């Protein structure tokens, strides 16, 4: 089976690796987003998929707008591919592009469709406190993740999973599911299933304001926001920006979901329910762990933070480094 692969970030790399490691598939080339300027030196950095493609001496196309790049589209047509595989490419494919491969275009999408169609399914499923997610392979159409479903694979979401951890797990799951999809698809053993549009939800692009923490929200809402939009959620501390990158909600309903060692430490925290405090206020400091902050409902342990211009540090190192005091208040950014 002759394949052209469309993908950009690290999430797509395991899928491309799997295709390259199976002799039944021939990857003819890769389409990825243009190099981006990043870092202090403002250097052009290639996408993770481009790096892998270069290591295998694959042809690479990097169109600013693939739908309008007639030269690239002509070259893709000349390849006579059987199928285009799309995994987190970052651009919408036109009807003309979808018709190029003989068997169609298959997308590896990071949610259990029809829930979380769109650009950021992993982040928003964490934000909304979902307890499971997965991968759906679909036969693409011109809509945003609206094509007929082929296969699904499901994975549980753990309480302390963040977007990076979950994306790594889903990337591996997606790579395996794609291979199984191609085997069955080629043999015509899959019956594509239309999505229920009435059950669809959307995972829009994350905006800068989504990172701002509002301490009047509940502890579990803040925890889900912090892990969903990892590592970018921000508050203020002593009039400076402070990123909160890892937390634990101090709720009895969630304690059993933690590792045993962490469960024991949480159980040893004194009863703080009688303390009268405002949202954002530090109500306790737990030795070896960090600060506990009052929220609109419940308490939140700060496990990892990052001060402006500094590297991420444990909650306990933050307490020691800043000489944090009980009754100090985190502000809304």
- pLDDT digit string, tens, across residues 152-177: 999 999 999 999 999 999 999 999 99
277 has a pLDDT exceeding 90: no
Partnered with residue 80 across adjacent β-strands are none
269 has a pLDDT exceeding 80: no
Structural domains of the chain, ranges and CATH numbers in brackets = 2-203 (3.40.50.170), 208-322 (3.10.25.10)
| 227 band by pLDDT with thresholds 50, 70 and 90 | very high
Mapped to the 3 state alphabet, what secondary structure does 238-268 carry? Answer: CCEEEEEEEEEEECHHHHCCCCHHHHHHHHC
Say how far apart CA 110 and CA 167 lie, in whole Å. Answer: 8
- pLDDT digit string, tens, across residues 108-128: 999 999 999 999 999 999 999
Q: State the sign of the Cα–Cα–Cα–Cα dihedral 217, 221, 225, 227.
A: positive
| 149 band by pLDDT with thresholds 50, 70 and 90 | very high
266 has a pLDDT exceeding 60: yes
250 has a pLDDT exceeding 50: yes
- pLDDT digit string, tens, across residues 130-144: 999 999 999 999 999
**Those residues with Cβ within 8 angstroms of residue 223's Cβ, 6 or more apart along the chain or in another chain:** 247, 248, 249, 300
How much is the pLDDT for 333? 47
Binding-site residues for (6S)-5,6,7,8-tetrahydrofolate, please?
A: 111-114
Say how far apart CA 233 and CA 215 lie, in whole Å. Answer: 12
307 has a pLDDT exceeding 50: yes
Residue 150, number of CB atoms within 10 A of its CB: 22
Q: Mean pLDDT throughout 42-49?
A: 93
Among residues 244, 288, 281, 245, the alpha carbon closest in space to that of 266 is found at: 288
User: Among residues of the chain, what percentage have pLDDT more than 90?
Assistant: 85
Question: Looking at the chain, how many residues does it have?
Answer: 333
- Weakest mean pLDDT among 200-209, 267-276, 287-296: 267-276
- Weakest mean pLDDT among 42-51, 180-189, 243-252: 243-252
Binding-site residues, please?
A: 111-114
271 has a pLDDT exceeding 70: no
């Amino acid at each position: 089976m002759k394949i052209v692969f469309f993908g950009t970030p690290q999430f797509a790399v395991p899928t491309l690796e799997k295709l390259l490691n199976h002799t039944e598939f021939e990857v003819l080339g890769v389409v990825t987003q243009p190099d981006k300027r990043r870092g202090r030196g403002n250097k052009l950095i290639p996408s993770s998929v481009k790096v892998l493609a270069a290591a295998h001496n694959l042809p690479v196309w990097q169109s600013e707008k693939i739908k309008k790049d007639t030269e690239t589209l002509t070259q893709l047509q000349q390849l006579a591919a059987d199928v285009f595989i799309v995994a987190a490419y970052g651009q919408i494919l036109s009807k003309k592009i979808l018709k190029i491969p003989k068997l169609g275009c298959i997308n590896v999408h990071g949610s259990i469709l029809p829930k979380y169609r769109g650009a950021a399914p992993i982040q928003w499923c964490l934000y909304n406190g979902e307890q499971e997610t997965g991968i759906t392979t679909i036969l693409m159409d011109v809509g945003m993740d609206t094509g007929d479903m082929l296969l699904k694979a499901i994975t549980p979401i753990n309480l302390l999973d963040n977007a990076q951890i979950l994306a790594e797990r889903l990337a591996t799951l997606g790579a395996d599911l794609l291979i199984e999809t191609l085997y069955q698809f080629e043999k015509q053993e899959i019956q594509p299933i239309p999505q229920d549009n009435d059950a669809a939800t959307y995972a829009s692009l994350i905006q800068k304001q989504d990172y701002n923490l509002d301490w009047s929200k509940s502890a579990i809402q803040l925890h889900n926001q912090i892990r969903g939009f990892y590592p970018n959620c921000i508050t203020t501390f002593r009039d400076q920006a402070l990123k909160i990158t890892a937390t634990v909600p101090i709720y009895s309903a969630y304690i059993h979901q933690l590792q045993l060692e962490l469960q024991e430490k949480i159980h040893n925290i004194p009863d703080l329910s009688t303390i009268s405090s405002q949202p954002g206020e530090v109500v306790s400091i737990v030795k070896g762990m960090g600060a506990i902050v009052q929220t609109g409902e419940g308490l939140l342990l700060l496990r990892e933070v990052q001060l402006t211009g500094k590297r991420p540090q444990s909650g306990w190192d933050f307490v020691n480094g800043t000489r944090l005091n009980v009754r100090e208040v985190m502000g809304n950014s």
